Amino acid sequence: MKFAPLILKHLRKNWIRTLSTVLAMAVCIFLICTLQTVVDAVNYGLHLGNASRLVTRHYVSLVFNLPNNYEAKIAAVTGVKNITIVTWFGGMYRGDLKYFFPNLAVEPEKFLAIYPEIMLPEDQKQAWFHDGRGCIIGRKLAEKWGWKVGDAFQLESFIPPYRVGKPFEFVIDGIYDTDLVKYPATDLTAMYFNYKYLYEATGEKTGVGTLTELIDDPSHAGAISKAIDAEFENSDTQTKTETEQQFIAGFVAMAGNLALLLNGIGLAVAFTILLVTANTMSIAVRERQQEIGVLKTLGFPSGLVMALILVEALLLGAMGGALGLLLAGGAIRVLPSVPYIGDVVRQFPGLGLSSRIVTYGLGTALLLGLLAGFVPALLAYRARITEVLRQL
């Protein structure tokens, strides 16, 4: 493009202005893309659940357990095909939250029947069914700690009723995998053990955290949920039943709200950058009245003069966008290994700078450049030679 030197030399001549605008743009695109990636991960989490599974919990809060006799009552509700206890144990490896991985107390046989995505060799399944202190762990968790079948480890819960004075001891009976094509969202970092162990170790006093039901028809989910909750309407402990999807949705709603807030921040930053860039461009163009007059005098069509300014603004956007994406890509790669933040981020499978977000980030940068350059370019388009060059 033969006009490139003119554009590039302007950017280079005012390199401080160019650099600061590009950096501001880069920070903006970095923020937007990183935030959007996290938002995407959260939204992806919303689809983790299965519509043919319902989750029943304490009406007031997840913090409270349900009575043990609820399981049988719910199993009797029409449409419920199977049911298992799923209780969040809150066990900390090495007694430190830093080494946290999800660990849940379940009923092994029913649990595996309800969760086909948890895939185990038959012998490991049988071993687990018959081992009171046995557990199964996900492939990724096993790889992380170098654990093999037969290894033992201890967990200490941070939940007061489960703190029984000594850590729980577990033996690994199986390492589960999944079919990532069919069940891409399956968590391979979790650990499941027999609820009976928890029940007995706590002196048979603990209730169940949640109950997961497999139902005969996902389209009846609403009706069956209502039927289950109706069962306990007049009891001391009322329940709240929803599909696993809704349950997860509620679980990440807080994160979702946070995402909304973060997106709002991103939008505000983008708007600020728009103003900064628009200012840069209008100063640049105002300083260039003489040049615009000369170009037009020499016969440059007004449209070309306008295009030169738009391209300059687009270039600022493109450079800022590219740099911002580079930063975002780096941050997203580093994020999972950052202490604490990493623990949260790792929960979202497939975290990465998707092509959609790259497009989105670059598009935003170019749009910001275009918007910023539009008014100055239009003024240049309209500028009359006799007015910008009073002296021929």
Partner 1 sequence: MSTTNTVTTTAVSVQNVRKVYQRDSIQIKVLDGINLEVQQGEFVALMGPSGSGKTTLLNLIAGIDRVTSGKVVVAGTDLTPLSEGELAKWRSRNIGFIFQFYNLIPVLNAVENVELPLLLTPLSGRERRERAMTALRIVGLEDRAKHYPRQLSGGQEQRVAIARAVVTDPTVLVADEPTGDLDHQSAEEILTLMETFNKEFHKTILMVTHDPRAAAKARIQHHLDKGVLSN
* Beta carbon nearer to partner 1, 33 or 377: 377
Answer yes or no whether residue 6 interacts with partner 1 by CB under 8 A: yes
Q: Would you say 108 or 373 has its CB closer to partner 1?
A: 373
Least CB distance to partner 1 at residue 319 (A) = 18
Instruction: Compare residues 74 and 284 and give the one whose CB is closer to partner 1.
Output: 284
389 binds partner 1 (CB under 8 A): yes
Pull the structure tokens for residue 19: 């650099």
Does the protein bind partner 1 through residue 258 (CB under 8 A)?
no
370 in contact with partner 1 (CB under 8 A): no
Query: Which one, 5 or 121, has the nearer CB to partner 1?
Result: 5
Nearest distance from residue 8's CB to partner 1, in Å? 9
Q: Count CB atoms within 10 A of the CB of residue 79.
A: 17
How many whole angstroms separate alpha carbon 47 and alpha carbon 41? 10
Check if the beta carbon of residue 30 is closer than 8 Å to that of residue 331.
yes
Q: Which of 61, 234, 355, 391 binds partner 1 (CB under 8 A)?
A: 391
Nearer to partner 1, 98 or 382 (CB): 382
Shortest Cβ 283–partner 1 spacing (Å): 15
- Identify the three-state secondary structure at position 92: strand
Nearest distance, CB of residue 24 and partner 1, angstroms: 22
Please report which helix (H) or strand (E) contains residue 8, including its range: helix 4-13
User: Contact 277/25 with Cβ under 8 angstroms?
Assistant: yes
Choose between 150 and 299: whose C-beta lies nearer to partner 1: 299
Rounded distance, CA 381 to CA 301, Å? 9
Identify the three-state secondary structure at position 184. Answer: coil
Q: Half-sphere exposure of 192 toward its Cβ, with a 13 Å CA cutoff?
A: 25
386 contributes a contact to partner 1 by CB under 8 A = yes
The vertex-304 CA angle with 298 and 307, nearest 5°, equals 140
16 binds partner 1 (CB under 8 A): no
In the three-class reduction of DSSP (H, G, I as helix; E, B as strand; rest coil), residue 214 is classed as strand
Q: Considering the complex, what minimum distance in angstroms separates the CB of residue 45 from partner 1? A: 52
Q: Is 19 in the site for partner 1 (CB under 8 A)?
A: no
Shortest distance, CB of residue 390 to partner 1, whole angstroms? 8
Chain positions 285 to 314 lying near partner 1, rule: CB under 8 A, are 290-291, 293-302
Output the smallest distance, CB 384 to partner 1, in A.
9
Q: What is the footprint of partner 1 within residues 78-117 (CB under 8 A)?
A: none
**Pick 143 or 287: Cβ nearer partner 1:** 287
Between vectors from CA 319 to CA 314 and to CA 324, what angle results, nearest 5°? 120
Calculate ∠ Cα 212-256-321, nearest 5°: 135
Binding residues for partner 1, total number by CB under 8 A: 25
Contact indicator for 177, 124 with CB cutoff of 8 Å? no
Q: Between β-strands 191-194 and 103-106, what pairing exists: parallel, antiparallel or unpaired? A: parallel
Q: With contact defined as beta carbons under 8 Å apart, do 194 and 108 qualify?
A: yes
Q: How far is the CB of 385 from partner 1 (least distance, A)?
A: 5
In whole angstroms, how close is the CB of 307 to partner 1 at the nearest point? 13
Distance CA 356, CA 36 (A): 10
Beta carbon nearer to partner 1, 175 or 383: 383
CB 361 within 8 A of CB 324: yes
Under the rule (CB under 8 A), what is the footprint of partner 1? 2-3, 5-6, 9-10, 12-13, 290-291, 293-302, 385-386, 389, 391-392
